[in-house]
Amino acid sequence: MEKLEFVEVSPRDGLQNEPNIVSTADKLALINHIIAARFRRLEAGSFVNPKKVPQMADGDAVFAGLPQRDDVTFIALALNLRGVERALAAGAKEINYVFCASDGFSVRNNGGTVEETFAVWPEVAAAAKAGGARLSAIVSTAFGCPFDGEVPVRRVVEVAERCVAQDIFELGLGDTIGVAAPSDVHERFRAVKAAIPAHVQLRAHFHNTRNTALANAVAAVEEGVRILDGSLGGIGGCPFAPGAAGNVPTEDLIYMFNRMGFDTGIDLDAAVEGAHFIGGVLGRTTPGMVSRAPKWPS
């Protein structure tokens, strides 16, 4: 069976937009649910401006409280050199660095134009290497921007090429606001794959704002992508992307790809338990479907 890897992003992308602060203890409990469901890579938190994203202000405490597991990779997200330095100081061994494909989003999310944010990229890569962390990059708004509108494919390819100018092991394309359709996914992953070195693995990050995320995930896998992000329960959003809804629900991805014959490595029942747990913490029904459906096969 062909393997797929799932990166669980609920502790970071899933929670970052929640207005009520989730306690560090609940974040760590969520992370334990994620590990129990046999995820082996997860976004544990981000190191960004706590005034802009108060929900992520306890990144240091979350990293300090992580279980000691050599077999689990805890990813820290950063948007600038200061964030990378804080992530390294917190003990992060993998850093996911964010670039944007559009200036409108880049200015609001990363505090500068795309051009400006790349100025520090060599320093970021050097800092990660010196700190003993492996480095990946994600191109957000790769399918559309809430401020600039449509993002040309060639623009995404250009940004991807600049990302791989430094030593990264993985490159993600993010549909930050959930506007992509499968045809976009085919086109963009194919174009980026052709433009970057073969050793850089591709990762896909979808939001389900317009209910296209599962279809988009299938399209990405058809293009050879083997690493997919998801968020238990389908929670998630972005403080700087108006109208963006949740990430694709991980347990819905797992159910679908299990049924399609892929080896996901995930315990679906435990993933559903994790979705119920975070729904309980947030005090609402989460948008994912599989966690609310009868177990199948029963």
* Binding region for Zn ion (CB under 5 A): 13
Compare residues 8 and 13 and give the one whose CB is closer to Zn ion: 13
Compare residues 46 and 166 and give the one whose CB is closer to Zn ion: 46
Label residue 295 exposed, middle or buried (CB < 10 Å: 0-12, 13-18, 19+).
exposed
Helix (H) or strand (E) holding 230: strand 227-230
What minimum distance in Å lies between the beta carbon of 177 and Zn ion?
Answer: 9
What minimum distance in Å lies between the beta carbon of 261 and Zn ion?
Answer: 28
Compare residues 13 and 94 and give the one whose CB is closer to Zn ion: 13
Strands (DSSP E) found in 21-85: 41-47, 73-78
100 a catalytic residue: no
CA-based nearest residue to 100, from 87, 117, 83, 86:
117
d(CA 62, CA 118): 28
Which residue lies nearest Zn ion, judged by its C-beta?
Answer: 13
Query: Contact, 19 vs 70, CB < 8 A?
Result: no
CB count within 10 Å of CB 273 equals 16
Compare residues 246 and 279 and give the one whose CB is closer to Zn ion: 246
Q: Which of 100, 145, 163, 238 is catalytic?
A: 238
How big is the chain by its Cα radius of gyration, in Å?
17
What's the Cα-to-Cα distance from 21 to each of 29, 45, 99, 230, rounded to whole Å? Answer: 15, 14, 26, 21
What minimum distance in Å lies between the beta carbon of 13 and Zn ion?
Answer: 4
What minimum distance in Å lies between the beta carbon of 207 and Zn ion?
Answer: 6
Supply the residues annotated as catalytic.
238
